[in-house]
Structure 1
Amino acid sequence: MKKIFILFCFVFVNLSFSQKKQDLILKSPNGKIEIKILVNDKISWTISHEKDLILTPSEMSVTLDENVILGKDPVVLNSKKESVDNSFESPFYKKKSIQNKYNQLTLNFKNDFSIEYRAFDDGVAYRFIIKKKKDITVKNEEVILNFDSDYNTLMPYVRDLRNPKDPYISSFESHYENKKISEFAKDTLAFLPFLIDYKNHKKAVFLEANVEDYPGLFVTNNKSKSGFESRFSKYPVKETNGGFNNLNKLITERADYLVKTKGTRNFPWRIIVISENDAELANNDMVQKLSEPSKIKDISWIKPGKVAWDWWNDWNIYNVDFKAGINTQTYKYYIDFASKNKVEYVVLDEGWSVETDIMKHNPNVDLEALIAYAKERNVGIILWSSWMALNENIEGIFENYSKLGIKGFKVDFIDRDDAKMVNSVYTIAEKAAKYKLLLDFHGMYKPTGIQKTYPNILNFEGVKGLENNKWTPNDDVPLYDCTIPFIRMMAGPMDYTPGAMRNATKTEFKPSNSNPVSQGTRCHQLALYTIFEAPLQMMADSPTAYMKEQESTDFIAKIPTTFDETVALDGEVGKFVAITRRKANIWYLGAITNWDSREITIDFSFLEKGKKFQAEIFSDGINADKSAVDYKREIITVDSTTKLKYRLASGGGLAMIIK
């Protein structure tokens, strides 16, 4: 009897210990970042960077069917700490390999779930891991972000009228609104990534990665106005055709859950990237580190490159003896231009087919003749399709067009990131890889790492790119251009579609459909080809415009779309950025500014010591403040000790090729 009593006391003490309040600490390898995890009646974490609080106690939980809340009254069964320091190759990216160094703490809880926390030198992340034998229904995930002060934010709100009754239908194209946390627009949503501006020059960007069989994360203001809380789109039950040109699926009924999914699985990563200076944000690999490795064994057929694009310039070519438009002769002209300038692809945007049935061709476009014509000239053809038309017969469409010799698809009007659409994106990627087809996801939510898992996906929109310039005179484009390298680009490549040869100052800019113009200088546009990450990079202007500006065209054509090394030289969010990237032994450099003219210093210490380099430089002309097309081209000799000052005009830029 005495032995039984002692055993009972031992069990009771252990159970009491496992359920009482616990604080666990995880630090980054360099010791600057600390995660403090509190396990009490709920699970929360606090993040600090040196003496600065990044996140005050913020709860996390997952609600399953039958009101099972993983994170309510949690019981820690055991924990495991480990340190990882390795590297991996990163094809079709801004650098050849990525160093992956972090400390990890895994907490295993009663009720078949774990939470994995990672602390890197440049940020933190966590994810839930479920280990149940049967399938589960996820009703909600609680992601809370609390702050100790009313900091400024750069927040992309959902501002889309495609379906005003459903805020989760969105093109994910928004400028950033600079507001305090407490000023978050009531009863609205914002999508990721977004930025918090702390004191002491520190900033944090909030992202997610490895979103598979799960909806994307939105945020809204919490009741205390001291932070944000998560929102997710519920699973679609009923859909109908609608939206722009009837090319979207609008949701008429949603379920009361997020997703029905496997009972044993990893949830998406919730990420906070922390910087001590802004330039660090312009060269960050966190999403790449936290995404699943490639599922494509042979990637030798995947060829990044530049694309001659038809839509932005409204098929506007001239000085020809045929009527320009969506027809065979016009596309042969685009192919000839691409071939002459060593541009790898031509895209046939909307109009080449019946938009609702892309197996039916526009009779004015002889697709097979164009494929043969392009092949003779070493140019690949990429076809545009709405998601809805492609989704009717993914396998059949891909099989048919791969046999014809098409190299890839630009898939448009996705406009959602609920679990059903996310699964569709993965299915499209898998099927495209099967038929060795490249993908450019346009009208798309921000990338969350699938580009690493399926590297045949070379680009994503989810950005308010140059195409919007045609009709938005009130948008501050240079400001936006100087903001997205620090926020949106951190999530992955951007189908921004640069390359305007008609350029305008702030006072001279006017919207135009057939002769579209960019805000800012010519050199601003040239610099974007180095600054903006896009393994499949568009040349948005018309062949006629490029041939009139052959010197600029030659420069663009020489810039690759993937790189072996990236160095963020300098920058300040929303003001300016300077980035240099290396491919083999050649460096490419781009710098841009907002509407404020400024002087910047380029320090060439990134070059190999003891060697001389030749720099081809395009800088803003002395009259670029009045005529934005004005530029100066020069060739000079530089080395690792060289430091040069350049004046960037209002909305200006600087572009170099150094070899």
Structure 2
Amino acid sequence: MKKNVLIALAVLAAGTLSAQNNFTLSSPDGRLRVEVAVDGTVEYSVLHGDDVMIAPSAISMTTAGVPSFGVDARLAGSSTRSVDDTFDAPVYKRARVRDNFNELTLRFRNNYNIVFRAYDDGAAYRFEYTGKKAFEVLGEQAEFTFPAAAEGVFSYVRGGGNGKTGDKFERQFFNSFENFYTYEPLSSWKSEQLAFLPVVVGGPNGKKVCITEADLMDYPGMYLYGGAKDGTLAGVYAPYPKTVEQGGHNQLQMIVTARENYIARVAGPTCFPWRVMVVAENDAELLDNDMVYKISSPPTGDFSWVKPGKVAWDWWNAWNLYGVDFAAGVNTETYKYYIDFASDHGIEYVILDEGWAVNKRADLMQVVPEIDLPGILGYAAERNVGIILWAGYWAFDRDMENICRHYSDMGVKGFKVDFMDRDDQQMVDFNRRAAETGARYGLLIDLHGTHKPTGLHRTYPNVVNFEGVNGLEQMKWSPDLDQVTYDVTIPFVRQVAGPMDYTQGAMRNATAGNYRSVYSEAMSQGTRCRQLAEYVVFESPLNMLCDSPSNYMNEKECLEFIAAIPTVWDETVVLGGEIAKYVSMARRSGEQWYVGAMTNWTARSLTLDLSFLGEGKFAAEVYRDGVNASRAARDYKKETIGIPEDRRLKIDMAPGGGWTAKIYRVTD
């Protein structure tokens, strides 16, 4: 590993000290600056060139048991360092990641630091506690100030209103972190509503700021609230649970019935989460950003055993097989059929989703009598297919060590854990413990029913996916949702934080006028080629084939493409995009490139710049919208074409359409 780390230490460095202590931290290329002012309080701002991206904004942390941070702030010293490092990223969208930043650490009396980092593509800060005494965090002030007229792209928390504690936000702290996007000025923020991260805000000259967080391990997740002061988004955090009771979906959740007056307990020295501000000069730059990944804690130990891949999934298609001589459903015969399908097409895993364990018992040791789990595991092992089990949160947490040991010994390869639906400190810690325990037993962890990624997938590479997505499952029950527009928004917002358990691959496809929600035989909005393109555009190391094996085997060309496509990549290149309009990008695995593009409900022609291919002769296996895709969304055309020498390739997409290709080198 090539590494170049330069460290410069200073005590209130010359040229940065005045009566009001002012500091300026520049990015490696000098274009982005973080300005910090300390004068009893602490304020920061972020500038890019001559543009103010975030105006002066206050930060502090109110505590009990130790003096508060950023309140009556008294500097004890400062230091700076510069890092230019490159590290391996084995389960990611590129094989190597460059970590290049300048850092300023402000040391304060009363045993705390505030650390600021400036990257070429963003800024971040975090609090650090260096003392030994335990304490409680009563609240954290995290402000992000924009012009009042600034427009945002964000998802409100579903629900709202008064909860059991009387706080207007209480009911919103129990949510699935799924919703469509709102596109409106911050001045129009609904006064009773929180938004979950990430959030994108427009800045000067078409620039954008994406706000999220990273290295969240043992602290509540951050929501944003914009209803108090025009132009200012403020952090809000779920208080620590005081009492909980079993309930919710099939008795698999723990419902908070009372909360403490603090948001976190701290046992000793700790680093708090990074507050991350990705800065992009245009929308397309948001499509490929490594901030959350590179600023999170690196892994320790050997994770070479982690095997990403694709999953034949049962739940979305409601176990609907046809042309078979057994009753399809949650039973051994059905899962053997899924295993045969996966084995025949090189699909790495089959998931047993909800239904394999006895309902409403929250006990993963009680398997329904229709399932011969040892027999299924043995059958899968003979055919080189891994089995992943679905688990409700409380059923998993109440006996985590024993469950992981028991099922790992049986040959299970991982768990998809669902219905956490909170991000208070207890639940964030659960995600970390699930990752850690799974790693000890060689188990993959798919954190479904949870908040956005915050870098846990770097620290524990066995965490191969996260939900926090209003994904394709919504098509089973949402007659009015505009999924097509959502699909060309999430790559610029939610995916900035990390991989998405969106669960694509529908073979029933519908135009805007023909779509309807059908729970047991669901369909997608938009064209067939859109579904194929999502395997390129969406980042997902553990990627579902959501539809029925029976449907896939009637669509052999599409199945061939999906079954062969990688789920982790050596290189990612953005080709273009605008939020809520279109997206196009390319990803490389070995010598082959895959390109995917999607549009909103507007038919669109694009000219793709494929100059990244370099010298040589190339051809492409293309899947494009058919002539009649605007009427019959399943209409598509597969063809092989040569790549033009000038590397400029024109493509056309139908309304709600997509385009995808596998590009390979041609040798004479």
State if a TM-score over 0.5 links the two structures: yes
| Aligned match of 1:9 | none
| Aligned match of 1:5 | none
The one-letter code matched in structure 2 to 1:481 is D
After TM superposition, the structure 1 = structure 2 runs for residues 445-460 of structure 1, keeping only pairs within 5 Å, are 445-460=451-466
2:402 to 396, 404, 413: 396
Is the CA contact (8 Å cut-off) linking 1:215 and 1:422 kept in structure 2? yes
| Aligned match of 2:353 | 349
| Aligned match of 1:582 | 588
| Aligned match of 1:154 | 153
Distance 1:310 1:394 in 2: 24
The Cα shift of 1:512 comes to: 0.5
2:509 to 503, 506, 515: 503
The Cα shift of 1:262 comes to: 2.7
1:176 to 181, 195, 199: 181
After TM superposition, the structure 1 = structure 2 runs for residues 318-467 of structure 1, keeping only pairs within 5 Å, are 318-355=322-359, 356-467=362-473
Q: Deviations over 1:145-202 (max 9, x none)?
A: 1113411101111104899652111100011111111111102111110100123111
Corresponding position: 1:259 with 2:264: yes
| Aligned match of 1:4 | none
Corresponding position: 1:649 with 2:654: yes
Is the CA contact (8 Å cut-off) linking 1:193 and 1:206 kept in structure 2? yes
Bigger Cα displacement from structure 2, 425-434 vs 634-643: 634-643
| Aligned match of 2:217 | 212
| Aligned match of 2:526 | 520
Q: Secondary structure at the match of 2:339?
A: helix
| Aligned match of 2:75 | 76
Is the CA contact (8 Å cut-off) linking 2:466 and 2:499 kept in structure 1? yes
The Cα shift of 1:424 comes to: 1.2
| Aligned match of 1:44 | 43
1:622 to 620, 623, 627: 627
Is the CA contact (8 Å cut-off) linking 2:101 and 2:118 kept in structure 1? yes
Distance 1:537 1:495 in 2: 7
Distance 2:467 2:86 in 1: 28
Is the CA contact (8 Å cut-off) linking 1:607 and 1:640 kept in structure 2? no
Is the CA contact (8 Å cut-off) linking 1:498 and 1:539 kept in structure 2? yes
Distance 2:229 2:332 in 1: 60
Distance 1:148 1:391 in 2: 44
Distance 2:159 2:228 in 1: 25
The Cα shift of 1:298 comes to: 1.7
Is the CA contact (8 Å cut-off) linking 1:197 and 1:203 kept in structure 2? yes
Is the CA contact (8 Å cut-off) linking 2:115 and 2:127 kept in structure 1? yes
Distance 1:401 1:393 in 2: 12
| Aligned match of 1:278 | 283
Is the CA contact (8 Å cut-off) linking 1:163 and 1:250 kept in structure 2? no
| Aligned match of 1:11 | none
Distance 1:522 1:167 in 2: 36
Is the CA contact (8 Å cut-off) linking 1:521 and 1:653 kept in structure 2? yes
- Equivalenced residue count is 642
The Cα shift of 1:608 comes to: 2.5
**Alpha carbons of 1:160 and 1:384: their partners in 2 closer, same or farther (altered >3 Å)?**
farther
| Aligned match of 1:8 | none
The Cα shift of 1:226 comes to: 2.2
Bigger Cα displacement from structure 2, 541-550 vs 50-59: 50-59
The one-letter code matched in structure 1 to 2:298 is P
Corresponding position: 1:550 with 2:549: no
Name the TM-score, length of structure 1 as normaliser: 0.95
Q: Deviations over 1:252-306 (max 9, x none)?
A: 01111112113311110001101112111100000011100113x2222110000
Corresponding position: 1:62 with 2:54: no
The Cα shift of 1:653 comes to: 0.2
Is the CA contact (8 Å cut-off) linking 2:244 and 2:255 kept in structure 1? yes
Q: Secondary structure at the match of 2:218?
A: coil
Corresponding position: 1:469 with 2:468: no
Distance 2:118 2:529 in 1: 39
Q: Secondary structure at the match of 2:478?
A: coil
Q: Secondary structure at the match of 1:69?
A: coil
Q: Deviations over 1:305-344 (max 9, x none)?
A: 0000000000000111111110111111111110111100
Is the CA contact (8 Å cut-off) linking 1:588 and 1:658 kept in structure 2? yes
Corresponding position: 1:596 with 2:602: yes
Name the TM-score, length of structure 2 as normaliser: 0.94
The Cα shift of 1:69 comes to: 2.2
Distance 2:182 2:521 in 1: 29
Bigger Cα displacement from structure 2, 29-38 vs 237-246: 237-246
| Aligned match of 1:113 | 112
The one-letter code matched in structure 1 to 2:203 is Y
Q: Deviations over 1:80-118 (max 9, x none)?
A: 122111111111100001111111111111111111111
Q: Secondary structure at the match of 1:128?
A: strand
Is the CA contact (8 Å cut-off) linking 1:523 and 1:619 kept in structure 2? yes
**Alpha carbons of 1:444 and 1:640: their partners in 2 closer, same or farther (altered >3 Å)?**
farther
Distance 2:379 2:41 in 1: 64
Distance 1:26 1:254 in 2: 39
Distance 2:478 2:403 in 1: 35
1:540 to 546, 558, 565: 546
Is the CA contact (8 Å cut-off) linking 1:215 and 1:232 kept in structure 2? yes
The Cα shift of 1:441 comes to: 0.7
| Aligned match of 2:565 | 559
The Cα shift of 1:642 comes to: 2.4
| Aligned match of 2:495 | 489
**Alpha carbons of 1:147 and 1:402: their partners in 2 closer, same or farther (altered >3 Å)?**
same
The Cα shift of 1:52 comes to: 1.2
Is the CA contact (8 Å cut-off) linking 1:162 and 1:244 kept in structure 2? no
Distance 2:340 2:162 in 1: 41
Q: Secondary structure at the match of 1:357?
A: coil
The Cα shift of 1:245 comes to: 2.5
**Alpha carbons of 1:367 and 1:31: their partners in 2 closer, same or farther (altered >3 Å)?**
same
Q: Tell me, which stretches of 5 or more residues in structure 1 are unaligned?
A: 1-13
Q: Tell me, which stretches of 5 or more residues in structure 2 are unaligned?
A: 1-12, 165-170
The Cα shift of 1:79 comes to: 1.2
Q: Secondary structure at the match of 1:55?
A: strand
Percent pairwise identity: 46
Q: Secondary structure at the match of 1:322?
A: coil
| Aligned match of 1:238 | 243
Distance 2:289 2:352 in 1: 33
Q: Deviations over 1:373-396 (max 9, x none)?
A: 111111000000101101111011
Distance 2:436 2:344 in 1: 34
Is the CA contact (8 Å cut-off) linking 2:535 and 2:562 kept in structure 1? yes
| Aligned match of 2:320 | 316
Distance 1:535 1:158 in 2: 27
| Aligned match of 1:197 | 202
The Cα shift of 1:647 comes to: 1.1
Distance 2:96 2:312 in 1: 29
Is the CA contact (8 Å cut-off) linking 1:182 and 1:225 kept in structure 2? yes
Q: Secondary structure at the match of 2:613?
A: coil
Distance 1:61 1:224 in 2: 18
Distance 1:207 1:639 in 2: 40
| Aligned match of 1:86 | 85
Distance 2:45 2:393 in 1: 41
Where in structure 1 do 4 or more consecutive aligned residues deviate above 4 Å? Answer: 160-165
Distance 1:434 1:162 in 2: 42
| Aligned match of 1:224 | 229
